[in-house]
Amino acid sequence: MPAVPEFAVVGHPNEGKSSVLSTLAEDDSVRISPIPGETKECQIFPVSIDGREIIRFVDTPGFQNPQKTLQWMQSYKGGDEMLIQAFIDAHRDKPDFHDDCSLLQPLLRGAGIIFVVDGSRPLRNMDKAEMEILRLTGCPRMAIINCKDDEMAWLSKWQQEFRKHFNSIRLFNSCKATYGERIALLESLKAIDQDLQPVLDKVVTAFKEDWRSRNKQVAEFVTSFLEIGLGYSRSVSVSPETDEVAAKVRLHNEYEEYLRKLERKCQAQIRSLYKHNIFNVELPAQSILQEDLFSDKTWEFLGLNSSQLILAGALGGAAVGASVDIAAAGLSFGIFSAIGGLVGAAGTALKGKEFLSDKRLLGMRLQNEQLQVGPVKNMQLLFVLLDRQLLFYRHIINWSHGRRDYASALSSSKKKAFTASWGKGDLDVCTRFFTILQKNTLAEKQSCRDALSGVLGKALEKISCEDA
């Protein structure tokens, strides 16, 4: 085995070799196609962490002539260690054997073998021939059963046969595999050869550390997004001639548009961190993330429920219970009516989520002939934004790189508000962060944003470990 561990992904055409490789290496540049024979030449896909290559996978063409190759190998009289080289030498000029020669090439360099089969179809003699060829090469090898359909009837037959030929067997679905399943597969590669253990231990550790560090970066991206988005403030001068309502509407719309853009930018950062560079990882049609940030549906499903909001102190405890005529308080005015202390009082009058999630309450005031929008007054916006980023994160990490069936996107984005299950401690961190943004007191800002980033990091780790 070379200094950087190398594994050739081999098998019959169209079984999902390239898909498995793409998912394992988190590389969406791998060519995948429903037409057999897509991969024509071997191609190395290195996996680098912090600029250092730690493992490499080789995509290979499928077996072209397994039966004839096996026959040749069985009648070969030379030494075992020369078998692959001798086969290649004898067939290099025969176009019919181009793919067979090509796929064996990496084994000459000492690559390990990952044999991929589609376990949703029955076992054939051809498969047995391929397994026997791989056994004769003497290279360390494992088998991956990549069930393209959910058909499992043939699974036990495959497993039975595999036990005769491979040191390790794993079920791995290249289209649905999560981060945890990728790690588990790498772990099981260790079992194929004792000599591989120390180096693969390092690879697995590096993969785990890299994942943690990416989660930390996401926490930072989201914290910065919230800091900028919620701390936003703009003002314009007004004179007695100014159409105040029109000016307010304009300021408000500008803010909404600004926030939408900022949100998309943060999502793009997350997407690129998880190496979805080429394909647009589409959201399922039914995803709540398809809804506009300020749509009623978004605010109905995401963010905190009323008791959580009270727990978070979002309403200001003292005001709860007060009875105020909300029309008089100015809610009927429309988009901008929340002015500081009125929030709590009005909340009790409107009751429940209806008021608590009133997305109009973004904060706007008129002072010294200056009309100002922001910073945001409604803390629910913080939780809606958080939930949307967490949902996006979950969608991205669970979209495996080998997956190309965009038309039938899985409904990985359930309508679920992550923050609604957060405990008092985490909610307090959010409240403090939000309060500091309101006051714009620089001194405490750093510690508050660090605390929020920490809470987020924890939430991301939890989502990473959940099933998709």
Ligand X SMILES: Nc1nc2c(ncn2[C@@H]2O[C@H](COP(=O)(O)OP(=O)(O)OP(=O)(O)O)[C@@H](O)[C@H]2O)c(=O)[nH]1
* Residue ranges in contact with Mg ion by CB under 5 A: 17-18, 38-39
Question: Minimum distance from CB of 405 to ligand X (Å)?
Answer: 6
Question: Minimum distance from CB of 16 to Mg ion (Å)?
Answer: 8
Residue 361 near which of Mg ion, ligand X, none (CB within 5-8 Å, type-dependent): none
- The residues that touch ligand X, with contacts defined as CB under 6 A, are 11, 13-19, 32-34, 36-39, 61-62, 146, 148, 173-175, 404
User: What one-character-per-residue DSSP string does 389-440 give?
Assistant: HHHHHHHHHTS-TT---GGG------S--SGGG--HHHHHHHHHHHHHHHHT
Question: Minimum distance from CB of 125 to ligand X (Å)?
Answer: 19
Residue 33 near which of ligand X, Mg ion, none (CB within 5-8 Å, type-dependent): ligand X
**105, 112 contact by CB (below 8 A):** no
Residue 34 near which of Mg ion, ligand X, none (CB within 5-8 Å, type-dependent): ligand X
Question: Minimum distance from CB of 157 to ligand X (Å)?
Answer: 19
- Judged by beta carbon, residue 17 or residue 214, the one nearer Mg ion is 17
What does the chain come to in residues? Answer: 468
Residue 413 near which of ligand X, Mg ion, none (CB within 5-8 Å, type-dependent): none
> Over 50-74, what HEC string results?
CCEEEEEEEECCCCCCHHHHHHHHH
HSE-CB of 125 using CA atoms within 13 angstroms: 4
Residues 6+ apart with CB under 8 A from 299: 357, 359, 380, 384
- Judged by beta carbon, residue 5 or residue 62, the one nearer ligand X is 62
Question: Minimum distance from CB of 27 to ligand X (Å)?
Answer: 12
> Over 269-296, what HEC string results?
HHHHHCCCCCCCCCCCCCCHHHCCCCCH
Residue 99 near which of ligand X, Mg ion, none (CB within 5-8 Å, type-dependent): none
**104, 84 contact by CB (below 8 A):** yes
Please give the backbone phi and psi of residue 117, each rounded to the nearest 5 degrees, phi first.
-130, 155
Question: Minimum distance from CB of 10 to Mg ion (Å)?
Answer: 10
Residue 227 near which of Mg ion, ligand X, none (CB within 5-8 Å, type-dependent): none
Q: Where are the alpha helices (DSSP H) in 304-423?
A: 306-311, 326-329, 342-350, 352-356, 380-397
- Judged by beta carbon, residue 152 or residue 278, the one nearer Mg ion is 278
Question: Minimum distance from CB of 102 to ligand X (Å)?
Answer: 11
- Judged by beta carbon, residue 102 or residue 453, the one nearer Mg ion is 102
- Judged by beta carbon, residue 33 or residue 447, the one nearer ligand X is 33
| Separation CA 362–CA 252 (nearest Å) | 8
- Judged by beta carbon, residue 14 or residue 224, the one nearer ligand X is 14
